[in-house]
Chains A and B, each alone.
Chain A
Amino acid sequence: MIAARAQFASVRRLPRISLPALAASSLVLVTLALALIFFVVPNDANQGFSQRIFYFHVSIAITAYACFAGGAWKALRHLWKHDPRADLESYVAVHQGVIFGVLVLVTGSIWAKISWGHWWLWSEDQLVLFLVLFLFYAAYFMLRFSVDPGPQQANFSAVYALFGVVLIPVSFAAIRLAKGLIHPVVFTRHGPNFGGWILATYCVAQVAMLVFAYTLYRVELTGKRIDARLRELRLA
């Protein structure tokens, strides 16, 4: 245990990229991704132009998972290392995750409407999982804001955020199983024809979305820290 801690402590923190540089790179990447999505990638043979929402939907979903994972990681750091900054970082990451999660629900439902004519399909694993996660993390905010700020609030939030990362795989398995129960799997999308420009565009969109999310995370974190500092100064 002690050896592991020493090893853990020896890992240096990554050097922080400055916020303007981050914002500029996310602007460039998002522009590049949009250009690729709308002007370069060929139309999908089956679904035509509307299939391009795939690049948004999937990359946003992965970004949301990354935010939830980041939030849980910071939560673990709070509980384990008593890192004083980890609580706020965990909260901001979960907050970003919920925002991206709502975008997953919106883009997924638009795609479902265009492809299959329904706004909501219980046969869509990702959509159902994100609905469960949305409910779960909405309760996270309820929990966080019904406890007075302090160590208890930080502990409760951290523990609940850790529940989230265990819930994601278990719910995913459950939803897969439930789908077999309600009706058989009908749609198997994205067969083997996944390469060339499609793959490249997807990768760019994914990186752009992750960098964009990280920028938002840093902006919100900076704002929250300034807010907290200002309140301290006002009280002093």
Chain B
Amino acid sequence: MNYLADVRTLARKDLLLELRARDTLPAMLLFVVAVFVVFHFTLPAHSSDLAASGLLWVAILFTALLGLGRAFVPEREQRTLDGLVLAPCDRSAIWLAKSLATLTFLVAAEVVALPVFALFFHGVDGSTVAGIALADLGICAVGTFLGAMAVATRARDLLLPLLFLPLAIPIVVGGVGASTASSPGRYLGLLALYDALFTLLCWASFEYVVAE
């Protein structure tokens, strides 16, 4: 239970920081709405609902990238990571807490984004919401992990999308399938499989990312 307490404390720190500084969530919200407006003008006048469903996933992915890019910035600027690594807790707790914090931001952004999408384009059904929920887990688990690596490199913000997008292709396939296919079960299964495999891998190997 000690582990969970560590995770809770660390996640609470990130949420509190966001609550006071408010520099990630408003940016994500504004970005996702702006992306929808841009999409409205990129889609030809009489394009199908299917095209809009595909673009919803692009919007989610890029909004998530915006949040993930910010995730480890406070750690870098304040040199918090050194302290966290020295703290007597399991290193994977740092990753888990940060993933939970980014997941909270992403879900909060989507709670606003989905009604806006429904208003601008078309309604979202249950399987789309289920797909988004499953995809969020994978996006945050893998994205936070890669964000921790990217922030330690020279290229920093430049590197995260390059590392993340090839890994996000199965998520996009599963997500678009869940929101457009007539039988979304298999796609949701793919998303669940992705979440399980990559969460396990991230959890097991995060130690090597922060340890010298």
Contacts and interface: CB of A to CB of B under 8 A. Distances in A.
A160 B208 contact: no
Most buried by B among A174, A175, A177: A174
Interface stretch (A4-12, A60-68, A136-144, A221-229): A136-144
18 contacts: A79-B208, A139-B163, A142-B162, A151-B212, A152-B212, A155-B211, A156-B149, A159-B205, A160-B163, A163-B201, A167-B167, A167-B170, A170-B190, A174-B170, A177-B177, A177-B190, A181-B173, A181-B180
Interface in B156-207: 159, 162-163, 165-167, 169-170, 173-174, 176-177, 180-181, 186-187, 190, 193-194, 197-198, 201, 205
A122 B194 CA distance: 22
Contacts of A143: 149-150, 153, 159, 163
Contact of A181 (B155, B167, B181, B208): B181
Query: Chain A's interface: helix, strand, loop or mixed, by majority?
Result: helix
**Chain B: interface size category:** 20 to 34
Contact of A167 (B149, B166, B176, B181): B166
A167 to B, nearest CB: 6
A170 B162 contact: no
Contact of A135 (B155, B166, B177): B166
Contacts of A170: 170, 190, 193-194, 197
B161 to A, nearest CB: 9
| Interface bin, chain A | 20 to 34
A174 B205 contact: no
Contacts of B163: 139, 142-143, 160
A170 B165 CA distance: 14
A155 B159 contact: no
A146 B155 contact: yes
Interface of B: 149-150, 152-155, 159, 162-163, 165-167, 169-170, 173-174, 176-177, 180-181, 186-187, 190, 193-194, 197-198, 201, 205, 208-209, 211-212
A136 B176 CA distance: 21
A162 interface: yes
Contacts, number: 89
A171 B169 contact: yes
Contacts of A175: 173
Nearest to A172: B170
B198 A171 contact: no
Contacts of B162: 138-139, 142
A132 B170 CA distance: 10
A166 B132 CA distance: 22
B169 A132 contact: yes
Nearest to B187: A177
Nearest to A129: B169
Nearest to B163: A139
A152 B193 CA distance: 30
Interface in A192-222: none
B159 A146 contact: yes
